[in-house]
Amino acid sequence: MEGKRNMSFAELWNLSFGFFGVQIAYALQSANISRIFATLGADPHQLSFFWILPPLMGMIVQPIIGKYSDRTWCRLGRRKPYLLVGALVAVLVMIMLPNAGSLNFTQKLFLGLNGAMWFGLFSLIFLDTSINVAMQPFKMMVGDMVNEQQKTKAYSIQSFLCNAGSLAGYLFPIFFTWIGIANTAPEGMVPDSVIWSFYVGAALLILCVLFTFLKVKEMNPEEYAAFHGIDSQKQDTTNKTGIIELLAHAPKTFWTVGLVQFFCWAAFLYMWTYTNGAVANNCWGTQDVASEGYQAAGNWVGVLFAVQAVGSMLWALIIPKFRNIRTAYAVSLLIGAAGFISAAFIHDQYVMFAAYFLIGAAWAAMLALPFTILTNSLSGEHMGEYLGLFNCTICLPQIVAAALGGVVLGIVGGAQASMLIVAGFLLLAGAAAVALIKLTK
């Protein structure tokens, strides 16, 4: 292969288009899980525990996907078989999860949770596992096929599509309510507006993934070795390197960016967990999950997250204009911190737009910059395994934050809006940690 050729915009777009559908599924999960479990009967102090499962599954699954996809060379591709299987499983679970309350599993079982919540928990495990299986190959394919000069652009396109998918997923419930589908339901049941959102999201997920699957042709082993300057004779032996050895030889960038990731993803875990309760209390003056006000607040959370996605899409266009990628990273997180802290003090549902628009800047940076910085510091060897292991810097902070969520909520007085202030200070810590990153190639 002659050098590392530049890809056209259409090629970069096709490479990540399936991410649009995957992110619709992820947005529906992020915006509605707390609402669904609260509707099924979960206590606010329990909510963060339900959020342990998604990152825990990602922490287990993504390194495995990275390891085995590094070794998969077949006529369907290297990463593509995994994204297709993940998408198919996600579609099935998206049809089941919102129907948890319709199965009449009302009897209390283990840990005081009723049957509907246990069904929802297992559905959530399979949903997040399958989303992770479908999501990670898109990041890996950029690392595999895009040269260093185009990676910021490629991940920015991926960030744009990610936020466009989020925008659609977040707005589905309020759209279906607007066209007349019921947004309230009997106690313990999930509203039809949410159920139909998951159905439509599942259809779009598989269509978008199939588009990338059919449009993208991955490199064969010889092309890959030439593109990354790897001795093709060494590939079989290097692929047998163990995880401990990989971590021992990981570039310093892996760990410094991982520290920033820790603060950022803990912050967003608290946003996903507590925004619904915060908005219901601050803007609608209710915490009654069966009330019309609480369900209206649930829809409005989708709108706020959509505003965040718009802010993120616009900020993703600005990020490449920064001369220094570390400056872009730190400034983005500082803007996001201002959004989180201000959101806790706002009591008007429309003024909330400003706060979540600012939060979008941090989200745009989190989606694009860590992977740009990391993949530029890696050779083509073990690309998938390192990206899979790097996903632990996304999952572990969410697990820690979820495990401590009830304790932190008690410390700040039990007000869910106060957890947004905690999130803001976590982003401030992340912005400070950016100074530790050294850019390498």
Chain centre distance of CA 344: 23
- Per residue in 247-274, pLDDT (tens digit) is 777 888 889 999 999 999 999 999 988 9
Is residue 414 one of the residues assigned to a domain?
A: yes
For residue 240, pLDDT beyond 90: no
Give residue 358's pLDDT: 97
What are the helix (H) ranges across 344-415?
352-376, 383-390, 392-411
- Per residue in 24-43, pLDDT (tens digit) is 998 888 777 777 777 766 66
- CA nearest 385: which of 229, 248, 241, 227? 241
For residue 105, pLDDT beyond 60: no
For residue 104, pLDDT beyond 70: no
Is residue 3 one of the residues assigned to a domain?
A: no
What domain count does the chain have?
A: 1
Residue located via tokens 């220094």? 324
Q: How many CB atoms lie within 10 A of CB 411?
A: 11
Is residue 2 one of the residues assigned to a domain?
A: no
Q: How many CB atoms lie within 10 A of CB 108?
A: 11
Work out the pLDDT band at 166, boundaries 50, 70, 90. confident
Are 384 and 228 spatial neighbours (Cβ–Cβ below 8 Å)?
Answer: no
For residue 142, pLDDT beyond 90: no
Is residue 324 one of the residues assigned to a domain?
A: yes
Are 353 and 133 spatial neighbours (Cβ–Cβ below 8 Å)?
Answer: no
- CA nearest 138: which of 158, 113, 124, 114? 158
What are the helix (H) ranges across 41-150?
47-50, 53-70, 80-96, 115-145
List b or e across 60-82, with b for residues whose CB sees 16 or more CB atoms inside 10 angstroms.
ebbbebbbebbebeeeebbbbbb
Distance CA 177, CA 182 (A): 6
Q: CATH number for the domain including 342? A: 1.20.1250.20
Work out the pLDDT band at 1, boundaries 50, 70, 90. very low
Distance CA 46, CA 407 (A): 10
Is residue 4 one of the residues assigned to a domain?
A: no
Identify which of 31-45, 95-109, 277-291, 408-422 has the greatest average pLDDT. Answer: 408-422
What is the dihedral sign for C-alpha 71, 76, 77, 80? negative
Between 104 and 385, residue with greater pLDDT: 385
Distance CA 155, CA 371 (A): 8
- Residue 173, token pair as written in the block: 């419930």
Is residue 190 one of the residues assigned to a domain?
A: yes
Are 83 and 133 spatial neighbours (Cβ–Cβ below 8 Å)?
Answer: yes
Is residue 402 one of the residues assigned to a domain?
A: yes
Are 297 and 326 spatial neighbours (Cβ–Cβ below 8 Å)?
Answer: no
Identify which of 10-14, 286-290, 352-356 has the greatest average pLDDT. Answer: 352-356
pTM: 0.73
For residue 318, pLDDT beyond 70: yes
Across 185-195, average pLDDT: 81
Are 101 and 40 spatial neighbours (Cβ–Cβ below 8 Å)?
Answer: yes
Is residue 441 one of the residues assigned to a domain?
A: no
What residues are paired with 404 via a beta bridge?
A: none
Domain assignment of residue 112, given as a range: 9-436
For residue 62, pLDDT beyond 50: yes
Backbone angles phi, psi at 30, to 5 degrees: -65, -45
Distance CA 283, CA 430 (A): 29
Distance CA 250, CA 241 (A): 12
Write the CA distances from 251 to 68, 229, 304, integer angstroms.
21, 18, 38
For residue 56, pLDDT beyond 50: yes
Distance CA 260, CA 335 (A): 15
Name the CA dihedral angle for 223, 229, 234, 239, rounded to a multiple of 10 degrees.
-80
Distance CA 204, CA 165 (A): 10
- Per residue in 367-401, pLDDT (tens digit) is 888 988 887 777 666 767 777 788 888 888 988 99
